[in-house]
Structure formats: C-alpha cells, structure tokens
Chain A
Amino acid sequence: MKCAVIVFPASNCDRDAHDAIMHVTGTPPQMVWHGDSEVPDVDLIVLPGGFSYGDYLRCGAMAAHSRIMTDIRRKAGEGVAVLGICNGFQILTEAGLLPGTLMRNAGLKFVCRPVELVVDESQSLFTRNYSRGERVTFPVAHGEGNYFASDDVLDRLEAEGRVAFRYAEGENPNGSARNIAGILNEKRNVLGLMPHPERACDPLLGSVSGRAMFQSLLEKLS
C-alpha cells in the first residue's frame, strides 16, 4: 500500500501518522507539502491533525483552499482512499468532501484525553477489521470537534450506514450531534474522524485499537 501524508503549515500529527503507517504497514508514507500541485500516485492520502494555518477564520478553512486540495478532490472523486484525522476531518468538511461542519466544543474547552468509541459501521475500507458495535479507545485532542449538520443530513448519514464511529454513551467530549465521531462520504472512500487512531497504534501510548484501521486499509489496498 502506497501512502501520502499531506503536511500543512502547523500540521502537528503528520509525524504520528507517518509512524503509525510505518509501524503497521512496514512502508514509510511520502510526506507531501500542501503547496505542491500533485499528490504522487498512492492508494491512501492522509490529512493529519494539527492547527493548519493557525486555525485562522475557521479550522481547516484555509487549508481547504490550498493548492494540493485540487488534486486531492480529483483523486477522491476517482476513488482513492482519503483519511482525515482531527484537523484533517475539519479540512474535509470545509472542502466539501464530507457533509456538515465541526463547531466549537459545547463545553468551550479544549479536550485532550482518551475516549471510548463505538464502531457503528464495519462495511468500509477503513473499518472492515472492526466489528459493528465493537468498543475502541482513541485519544481526542481538539477545541472544535462538535459535529453539526442539519437533521436531513444526519438522517441520511444514518440511513446510508455512513456513521463510522460514535462516542460511547456518556463519553461525548464535545456535544457532537447524535454522538457522531467519524463519517464516510457517499462513495465510502473518504473517512473523517475527530479522534486519533494514529495515536493508538503502540502499547507505549496506552492503546493499540487504532492499528486495525491501518490494517484494514493495508489488506484492502495492497
């Protein structure tokens, strides 16, 4: 599986993503600068966490218009797998590749802790090695992770099995609608989620439940 991790100014989980991919797949991803016009020919593009462009205007709003995004939009349309984690999820919604948006946490505080999630959909490239209803623990670290969309959009996401992860009952750290933590696009090749699977791939970091996501991708895309 060939992977690329996009590096924006003030991305700060790009190296975590690099290490997790390296750890699970054995092959280092290519690190691609946001100002490049083309992503190399890869099977998976990762938009990492961080504070791209200092979160100016709105989280992800500037990055969504950076040069590399034109090619990412095109490749996503062609079916290349795209994984947006945390700020990467915010960028995907701002770019219109995923519906809805991520608002200020309902509690107004930056939340940084492990949270329990429920896998709500295992029929995807990203989640096929999990089982539906399985509980996993990924860390979250964000101030704007409060998923919001109109009721019509939320109903549609649920009806089409596009809610990949939800916060477990009582664990919702940010006020997200219907406890949504991660969603798929219509073609199911784009996943955005606020929690960090790449920070849950090494026992030293307290959880290895993120590995199955990269293994799922590796098995499907190799």
Chain B
Amino acid sequence: MRARVFVTLKPGVLDPQGKAIGHALNSLGFKSVGDVRQGKVIDLELAETDREKASASLRDMCEKLLANTVIEKYDIELRS
C-alpha cells in the first residue's frame, strides 16, 4: 500500500517562508494571492494491506518522527 503524509504548520504558528512565497507571488503579478502556508509531502510505501492497521501505523510514525506536534499537524492519505 502507498500512503501520502501532509505535514503542515498548525494554524496560528507564524510561517515566514509561506509569507515570503506570498510576497514573491504578489510581486510577480498574482495579485489575488492572500495568505500562503508552506508544508511538506512525504510519500511512503507500506508492506501492509489492512487500511486500519496502515492508518494506525502512519499516525504513530507522524507522532514519533514525521511531524513535530508542538508546531505541526499531519494528514494521512492512503492510496492502495
């Protein structure tokens, strides 16, 4: 099974990189761009066929390593 994990900053946590990207887009003429937040995408392959087990294991991975839950949240997408 394949999975995709999205790691993003929690709402309210300042994201200077996102801000800089927003400013750059504005200066390129994309005037409709408002708030920009930057995050990470991590693709994984799992030797697991049970979706429940895969989700539980991925949540554990996020809590232990993939995300720093002081400032980041994560979303998991399973793609079988």
Residues in chain A within 8 A of chain B (CB atoms): 57-58, 61, 65, 93-94, 100-101, 103-108, 148-150, 175
Instruction: Determine if B65 and A106 form an interchain contact, defined as CB atoms under 8 angstroms apart.
Output: no
What are 26 A-B pairs at a CB distance below 8 A? A57-B65, A58-B68, A61-B65, A61-B68, A65-B65, A93-B70, A94-B68, A100-B70, A101-B68, A101-B71, A103-B13, A103-B14, A103-B71, A104-B16, A104-B17, A105-B16, A106-B14, A106-B16, A107-B16, A108-B16, A108-B17, A148-B13, A148-B70, A148-B71, A149-B70, A150-B70
Q: How far is the CA of A94 from the CA of B64 in the complex (A)?
A: 10
Interface Cβ pair total, 8 Å cutoff: 31
A100, closest chain B residue (CB): B70
Q: Known A-B contacts: A103-B13, A106-B16, A175-B14. Give 20 more (CB < 8 A).
A: A57-B65, A57-B66, A61-B65, A61-B68, A65-B65, A93-B70, A100-B70, A101-B68, A101-B70, A101-B71, A103-B14, A104-B16, A104-B17, A105-B16, A107-B16, A148-B70, A148-B71, A149-B70, A150-B70, A175-B16
